[in-house]
Chain A
Amino acid sequence: MRYILLLQQIDTLRISKTEFVTKSYSIWLWLSIIEFILIAILFYLLYNKRKKLAFSDLSEANLKESKNTDIDMDNIMNSIIKSRELYKELSSVCHPDRFVNTSKEKIANDIFQEISKNKRDYKELSLLKERAIKELDLIFLITIKRQNYKISDIYRLST
């Protein structure tokens, strides 16, 4: 009799254990579903936020060319170190006011505009310096400037 009772107790224990396992299974299932929904909502919000950001209308293909361009780092370093000085020198020497009522007034205007546009690009400024030497005959002026003459002297000599 005792043996039968013991068997019955074991059976009831087994049943309760399986019930517990199925219950725990269902809890984990619901939890994973909730997690999945939360992740989906977060992705949706992130996607929407990204849509509102700048350049969201551009595709990756638009950027491909920009990605593949080579950057002249030496020019950047030169610009950081020397462009300020070169700009000052060129803007004072090539100023259009120095060429008023001369045949070079228009060229000087063009060059000065270019100088102002590229005031932080050393490479462009160097090219403009060469152009100014060629078109405005500034070789003489620049050599004088190197010998520490005053700008007024340069002006007098150029005219």
Chain B
Amino acid sequence: MWYKIIQIIEWFGDMADRYKLIRDFNNSAKNYFISGKAGTLLEAKITWGDSAYRHAFSKFMGSGFRIKALSGKYMARYELIEIGNIILNNEILVRKLISLGWDTLEVQDNHGALGCKWALKEYANIGGFLNN
């Protein structure tokens, strides 16, 4: 019984952590855009994700982590891929994303609905994951 209550409390804690991560990213991106360091304003948000990329910790609705360019200069395809690769190369961030229930990373330009997406489970470094 107590275990279930702890699980429920943890679930709410996870949700808070998810929104904190999104808020931190958005604040940082906003500051860089306002100060002129970044040419494009990026925004992170939660999406449905891809069901083909699911793993055991995926959230039911909202397993996609989307980074979208909101305004500023147009982004070429290689730039979208570069942003995705920077996120995926950061092993700590990928592990955190997985543990908080995300399974899909999406990067989208501000024009059209086309973008790039990756399965986070392929970049988690399972061996290291188990040891930690």
Contacts and interface: CB of A to CB of B under 8 A. Distances in A.
Contacts of A83: 86
Interface in B49-70: 54-58
19 contacts: A53-B54, A53-B56, A55-B56, A55-B98, A55-B126, A56-B56, A62-B130, A63-B98, A66-B132, A67-B17, A69-B95, A71-B93, A73-B28, A76-B25, A76-B90, A80-B82, A80-B83, A81-B37, A120-B90
Given A62-B132, A77-B28, A55 B57 contact: yes
Interface in B1-38: 10, 14, 17, 21, 24-25, 27-29, 32, 37-38
A157 B54 CA distance: 55
Contact of B86 (A50, A69, A120): A120
Interface of B: 10, 14, 17, 21, 24-25, 27-29, 32, 37-38, 42, 54-58, 82-83, 85-87, 89-90, 92-93, 95-96, 98-100, 121, 124, 126, 129-130, 132
A120 B82 CA distance: 9
A58 interface: yes
Interface residues of A, number: 25
A65 B129 CA distance: 10
Nearest to A122: B86
Contacts of B21: 71
A81 B38 contact: yes
Contacts of A81: 32, 37-38
A54 B82 CA distance: 26
Contacts of B85: 120
Question: Shortest 6 CB-CB distances between A and B: which pairs?
Answer: A63-B99, A73-B28, A66-B95, A54-B55, A56-B56, A66-B99
A115 B89 CA distance: 13
Contacts of A79: 86, 90
A56 B121 CA distance: 12
